[in-house]
Structures are given as structure tokens and as C-alpha cells.
């Protein structure tokens, strides 16, 4: 037997638990998969999904797509462009305002910044309560507070994103590597210096990327909330939808698509410019405290 060979039998004898099949865990995994599949099928059965309408529906979809090409603004190109700019401004201002308000509380809600659960958990529960209300509902609330206009849309997006980004920032900060903070502490730095020079340089690129994605998502949210007086682009798109005018609806879609395409390259460039040190930073949206 070679000196460098691995004695598998000796390893099995020393650590038998690692070589025994975990039938209980496998059975539990199979049971969970079967239960999820059963719930999925039962949901379709409960909603009585009309599968027979799929083929005619696809034909209607093909007709609609064919009618959308080429796009036809119907003489309202500058009106669409103006409404698009206003909606983009609402999304940008609302997201940035929500991020600026959420960052300090997100830091305080992180476990590796504030160890006391009595101080940390109420902040996370507050984030959960705020983000549990839809953006459109916040828009209706703020309309009754500040009146009609784009400002209500800005406040609605800021309020909704405050809860979501606050929880997200706390999760990102909790996933930061502690070695950098230990280095600052070993050099004589205080707790504030640990956060400023050991933690924030790790998480800020990820936080900036998440904010960019939220700006991208909120451009769609602002358009979808067409019932609110704020998002003019959504109302313009809604007015162009009644058949048979799909070409006019198509004219407003490419500009909105270009706004979505601009977000990921900027975020990727930001992460490549400021690489993370230590362990990878995860960013779950809905994880337990």
C-alpha cells in the first residue's frame, strides 16, 4: 500500500455517521416535493383553469404582437416622451429617498452591528409592516395627505421601498465578513471606525447595485399604478390600449424597455470596480430575522 494512499476503511471506522444513508432526511425531502406538487396541482384544479382556451389565446397573442409592429405613436410622440420622463423621475426620486431613509435603520437592524435583539428586532418588524403594504395603496394614502400630483407617487414609492430596502440592507450587512472589522479593531479603532472602515466598504457596492435594481423595478411599478394621478406614462399607455390600437401601445414599450436594460450593466460595472473582500455577500429579500 502506498504511503500517500487514503485508507477508506479506517476513515469509515473512525467516522461511521458520515457514511450511513440518511433515509429520514431523504424521505422528508421527497415528502416535501410531493406535497408541493400536490398543492400546485390542487391550486390549478381549484381555480378551474380553462386549458382549452390556451390555443385560441396564443392565436390572439400572435395577432396582437403582429399588430404592434411597426409602432405608431399616433401623433403623440412628444406627449409620450414627456410622460415617460416624469414617470422616470418619480421612480428615481422615490427610490433614492427610500434608500436614504432605510440605510441608517438597516445598519441598526443588522445583528453584527446591534447585538441586542430588543433594539434590533422592532426595527425589522417595522420594516416588515411597511413593506407589507402595496405601492398602489401607499399612493392612495399619500394622495389624501399631499393631494394629487407626482409628489404623491414619489412618497408612495419611497415608503414602499423604505421597508423593502431596509430589510434588504440589514441582511446584506449581516453577511459581511468580520475579518476586516477585526483588523480595524486590532489597529486600535473604535466601534464606529469598525463600521465605517471595516464593514461599509464591503457592503456599499452591493447596496448600490440593489438600489439600481429597485430604480429599474420602480419604473415599471410607476407605470403599473395607472390609477394614481402621478404616473403619466402609465395613463398614456392605458389610453392607447383599447383595441384596435396595439401599435400605439407598442410605441411606448421600447423606451421603457431601454430603461430596464440600462440597470444591470451599471450594477455589474459597480461590482467589478469595487470587488467584495472576504466571503460573498448574499441579498435575500424575505428571510427570517
Q: What is the 3-state secondary structure (H, E, C) of 54-118?
A: HHHHHHHHHHHHHHCCCCCCCCCHHHHHHHHHHHHHHHHHHHHHHHHHHHHHHHHCCCCCCCCHH
127-137 mean pLDDT:
87
Domain parsing of the chain, residue ranges: 8-65, 76-273
| Rg, C-alpha atoms of the chain | 26
Specify whether the CB–CB gap between 218 and 128 falls below 8 A: no
**Domain 76-273, second-level architecture:** Orthogonal Bundle (1.10)
Q: At what angle do helices 200-224 and 77-108 cross, to 10 degrees?
A: 140
Q: What share of the chain is helix, strand, coil (3-state, %, to 5)?
A: 75, 0, 25
Sign of CA dihedral 141, 144, 147, 148: positive
Judge whether residue 245 has pLDDT over 80.
no
From the CB of residue 149, how many other CB atoms can be counted at a distance below 10 Å? 12
34 has a pLDDT exceeding 90: yes
Summarize the confidence of residues 51-78 as an average pLDDT. Answer: 80
pLDDT band at 98 (very low <50, low <70, confident <90, very high): very high
Mean predicted lDDT score pLDDT of the chain:
76
Q: What is the pLDDT confidence band of residue 272, given thresholds at 50, 70 and 90?
A: low
CB 160 within 8 A of CB 130: yes
Mean pLDDT on 240-251: 48
CB 198 within 8 A of CB 184: yes
- Buried b / exposed e along 68-86 (16+ C-beta atoms within 10 A): beebbbeebeeebeebbeb
Cβ(204)–Cβ(283) under 8 Å? Answer: no
pLDDT recorded at residue 243: 47
Count of Cβ atoms closer than 10 Å to residue 255 Cβ: 14
Whose grid coordinates read 404582437?
65
In the three-class reduction of DSSP (H, G, I as helix; E, B as strand; rest coil), residue 232 is classed as: helix
pTM tops 0.85, yes or no: no
Amino acid at each position: 500500500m502506498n504511503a500517500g494512499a487514503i485508507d477508506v476503511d479506517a476513515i469509515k471506522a473512525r467516522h461511521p455517521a458520515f457514511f450511513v444513508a440518511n433515509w429520514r432526511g431523504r424521505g422528508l425531502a421527497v415528502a416535501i416535493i410531493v406535497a408541493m406538487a400536490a398543492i400546485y396541482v390542487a391550486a390549478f384544479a381549484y381555480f378551474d383553469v380553462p386549458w382549452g382556451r390556451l390555443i385560441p389565446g396564443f392565436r390572439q397573442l400572435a395577432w396582437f404582437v403582429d399588430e404592434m409592429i411597426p409602432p405608431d405613436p399616433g401623433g403623440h410622440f412628444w406627449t409620450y416622451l414627456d410622460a415617460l420622463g416624469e414617470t422616470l423621475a418619480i421612480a428615481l426620486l422615490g427610490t433614492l429617498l427610500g434608500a436614504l431613509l432605510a440605510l441608517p435603520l438597516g445598519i441598526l437592524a443588522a445583528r453584527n452591528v446591534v447585538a441586542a435583539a430588543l433594539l434590533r428586532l422592532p426595527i425589522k418588524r417595522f420594516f416588515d409592516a411597511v413593506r407589507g403594504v402595496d405601492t398602489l395603496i401607499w399612493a392612495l394614502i399619500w394622495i389624501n395627505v399631499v393631494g394629487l400630483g407626482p409628489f404623491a407617487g414619489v412618497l408612495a414609492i419611497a415608503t414602499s421601498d423604505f421597508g423593502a430596502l431596509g430589510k434588504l440592507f440589514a441582511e446584506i450587512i449581516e453577511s459581511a465578513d468580520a475579518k476586516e472589522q477585526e483588523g480595524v479593531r486590532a489597529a486600535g479603532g473604535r466601534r464606529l471606525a469598525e463600521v465605517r472602515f471595516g464593514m461599509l466598504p464591503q457592503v456599499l457596492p452591493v447596496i448600490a447595485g440593489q438600489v439600481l435594481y429597485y430604480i429599474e423595478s420602480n419604473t415599471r411599478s410607476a407605470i403599473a399604478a395607472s390609477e394614481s394621478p402621478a404616473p403619466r406614462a402609465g395613463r398614456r399607455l392605458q389610453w392607447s390600449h383599447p383595441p384596435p390600437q396595439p401599435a400605439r401601445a407598442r410605441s411606448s414599450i421600447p423606451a421603457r424597455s431601454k430603461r430596464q436594460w440600462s440597470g444591470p450593466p451599471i450594477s455589474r460595472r459597480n461590482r467589478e470596480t469595487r470587488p467584495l473582500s472576504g466571503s460573498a455577500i448574499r441579498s435575500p429579500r424575505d428571510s427570517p430575522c
